[in-house]
Amino acid sequence: MNSMNDAEGVAGPAMGQTSHAYRLRGLAGTGLVATLAAVLATTLAAALARAAGVDFEVPDGGETIPLSGFAVVTGFFSVVGIVIAVALLRWSARPAERFVWTAVSLTAISLVPPLLSGADTATITALLGLHLVPAAVMIPTLARSLRTRSGWRFRTGPTRGRDAPGPGAGTSARSRA
């Protein structure tokens, strides 16, 4: 009774919880690596834009956005994206599809402030591009991670809900007769 095999009967229900916690940790880990990549890509793009002559001066207060500001804001909102992805993995039947719609919508909304900033054209154009850089890193990475962790294949995977096959699906007419 003291063998390792006895623990299997006791730990049975907890296996689902361990698997769920593993999926959440895996998604968070993937998201943090993607966050680092997004921060680096955005900061590099901002440095290149600055080297090309974009001043990143915002008329309200006349201050210039520092490179560290791009890194901090990118990191913060990338972590917000991870939290959204984790919540959708936990509570949504189709987390990858919901995440893509949510993230693309939030990215579109994030493009409005640069347009309203009153900055010069070069700064506005650079800021718009700098909003798209982390989105191009984070959205596909987290969506892919959600698909592999939820068992859902975006638009082509297992069906759920109203799209589920009915009785007799996959059987031939001959075998049903």
Encode pLDDT of 98-147 as tens digits: 999 999 999 999 999 999 999 999 999 999 999 999 999 999 999 999 99
Burial of 117-129, coded b for 16+ CB within 10 Å and e otherwise, reads eebeeebbebbee
Per-residue pLDDT band at 14 (split at 50, 70, 90): low
The pTM (predicted TM-score) of the whole model is 0.75
Contact 74, 38 (CB under 8 A): yes
- Contacts for 121-126: CB closer than 8 Å, 24+ residues apart: 122/53, 122/54, 122/55, 123/54, 123/55, 123/56, 123/57, 123/58, 126/46, 126/49, 126/54, 126/56
Model pLDDT, residue 16? 55
C-alpha 6/C-alpha 66 separation (Å) is 60
Least reliable range by pLDDT among 27-41, 56-70, 156-170: 156-170
Q: What is the mean pLDDT of residues 60-67?
A: 88
Model pLDDT, residue 60:
76
SS3 state of residue 171:
coil
pLDDT computed for residue 18 by the predictor: 62
Distance separating alpha carbons of residues 109 and 92, to the nearest angstrom: 23
Average pLDDT, integer, range 22-40: 95
Query: What pLDDT, on the 0 to 100 scale, is given for residue 36?
Result: 98
3-state SS class at 56: coil
Would you state the pLDDT for residue 157? 46
Q: What is the length of the chain? A: 177
Question: pLDDT > 70: what percent of the chain?
Answer: 75
